[in-house]
Amino acid sequence: MHFRSLPAAALLLTSAQHASAQFGFEWEFTYPDCVNGPLASNAVCDTSASSADRAAALVKAMPLKDKFRNLVDRSNGSRSLGLARYEWWSEALHGVAGSPGVNFSESGDYSYATSFPMPILFSAAFDDQLVEDIATTISTEARAYSNAGRAGLDFFTPNINPYKDPRWGRGSETPGDDPFRIMGYVKHLLLGLEGGHNPPLKKMIATCKHFAGYDMEIWDGVIRYGFDALITSQDLAGYYMPPFQQRARDSKVGSIMCSYNAINGVPACADSYIMDDILRKHWNWNQPNHPYVTSDCNAILDIWTNHEYVSTPEEAAAASYNAGTDQVCEVFNRTAVEGAYDKGLLSEAVIDRALRRQYEALIIAGYFDPADSNPYRSIGWD
Ligand SMILES: *[C@@H]1O[C@H](CO)[C@@H](O)[C@H](O)[C@H]1NC(C)=O
Ligand SMILES: *[C@@H]1O[C@H](CO)[C@@H](O)[C@H](O)[C@H]1NC(C)=O
Ligand SMILES: *[C@@H]1O[C@H](CO)[C@@H](O)[C@H](O)[C@H]1NC(C)=O
């Protein structure tokens, strides 16, 4: 059983397309008003406080009913708090790309973005400075789109799965098949995307995907949404994990995306072994900030439909947030967050942890800072 009519890969290929209109989403990116609005009195706007304290202040003040609608990509904000709506799903695989969060204009300024070659090609140049320069251009254009209210501050890029199986249709999105090569690529790509030479402020939040063991689309009646990858510990440690170790432990990327597949029987987005034991504890990804995990789009629904790992949508929502998914990308179906809470499967403490992590990312990207204190806010179409 499957409900998606448009595979994620098709989205990536439509560059200057009006994906937001196509999805029927209506939203506009706006920076919150930290000067005159109700948020101004909340410590989230206090630029002298730590990002963790600022995120905690925001979440503490948020009404419970608003929390439910802010755990998914089309997050609804909070009217009483003065927090704007925010679409977490923007794409920039090899240039700012059509996606629910990106709004190209019909013509003229903001009607296109630079489209670089597919990652497998620019990775194959074996020139990490070139990789960093390409990524720097992508993030500069991304920031211009955000400043114009036409994109978010986080992007579901890069795809860093090692490309082991040539039958996988999305190999061209990846840097190749060699984990050592991918580690060098990821290091320099992230320096360019997140503006790593200017910590702790990030130019944008990159999302390394798909965690983990993901390299199967559809084959012989098996589809990626319900695929159970059987992977030995040795292959996991030696082949599938090194690119993610680089981005989490060494590059401290702002976000990662858990994948559709299961690993040894456990759907990745419900797997606390990979998301908590390895990612946050073993690799110490939680330091110095508290980055967030987003799900691939509709992956939470798949936990009960395609994987049949649990038997209700509420259990699927609870399994994912409890295991360490902090933000859920939805396509057509609502994630049953509120139901999971009402049934006592999901606590407010876990909801708050997820919200704190995701808003801390926006804080680090300067979302709640005054325009004149952020060097990236002056980037425009010129
Ligand atoms: C895209 O941006 C334009 C100009 O700001 C705005 O009028 C329009 O409503 C936006 N479209 C969507 C789908 O958000
Ligand atoms: C989303 O926010 C709008 C504007 O604040 C509000 O009218 C609407 O009821 C909210 N929707 C949900 C599902 O909370
Ligand atoms: C998902 O959405 C589709 C389309 O709206 C609907 O037909 C289907 O019943 C929904 N599935 C679940 C599990 O909610």
Q: Read off the pLDDT of residues 204-242 as tens digits, 9 standing for 90 and up.
A: 999 999 999 999 888 889 999 999 999 999 999 999 999
pLDDT at residue 25 in the model: 52
Residues within 6 Å of ligand 3 by CB: 3, 301, 313, 332-333
Q: Are strands 205-211 and 262-263 parallel, antiparallel or unpaired?
A: unpaired
Q: How far apart are CA 92 and CA 116, in angstroms?
A: 10
Q: Tell me the pLDDT tens digit for each residue of 9-32.
A: 334 433 334 444 444 555 678 999
245 within 8 A of 185, measured Cβ to Cβ: no
The answer on pLDDT for 197 being more than 50 is yes
- CA of 76, closest atom in ligand 2: 1
Residue 25 covered by a domain? yes
Give the active site residues. Answer: 296
Residue 2 covered by a domain? no
- Domain of residue 22, residue span: 7-378
Residues within 6 Å of ligand 2 by CB: 69, 76, 79
- Ligand closest to Cα of 314 equals 3
Residue 13 covered by a domain? yes
In this structure, what token pair is assigned to residue 31?
């920076």
278 within 8 A of 249, measured Cβ to Cβ: no
Q: How far apart are CA 85 and CA 25, in angstroms?
A: 12
Mean pLDDT over residues 77-90, rounded? 95
Q: Residue 250 phi/psi, 5° resolution?
A: -100, -45
Residue 106 covered by a domain? yes
**Rounded to whole angstroms, what are the CA distances from 55 to 193, 353, 358?**
23, 10, 9
Q: How many domains does the chain have?
A: 1
CATH number at residue 352: 3.20.20.300
Residue 189 covered by a domain? yes
Q: Tell me the pLDDT tens digit for each residue of 251-266.
A: 999 999 999 999 999 9
Residue 1 covered by a domain? no
Q: What is the CA radius of gyration of the chain?
A: 19
Measured by CA distance, the residue closest to atom 4 of ligand 2 is 79
pTM: 0.92
Which letter does DSSP use for residue 260 in this model? S
321 within 8 A of 351, measured Cβ to Cβ: yes
Q: Tell me the pLDDT tens digit for each residue of 125-153.
A: 999 999 999 999 999 999 999 999 999 99
Please give the distance of CA 35 from its chain centroid, rounded to a whole number.
28
- With the most atoms of ligand 2 within 8 angstroms of its CB, the residue from 27, 71, 74, 76 to mutate is 76
257 within 8 A of 207, measured Cβ to Cβ: yes
The CA 85 to ligand 2 mean position distance, Å, reads: 9
pLDDT at residue 192 in the model: 97
- Ligand closest to Cα of 81 equals 2
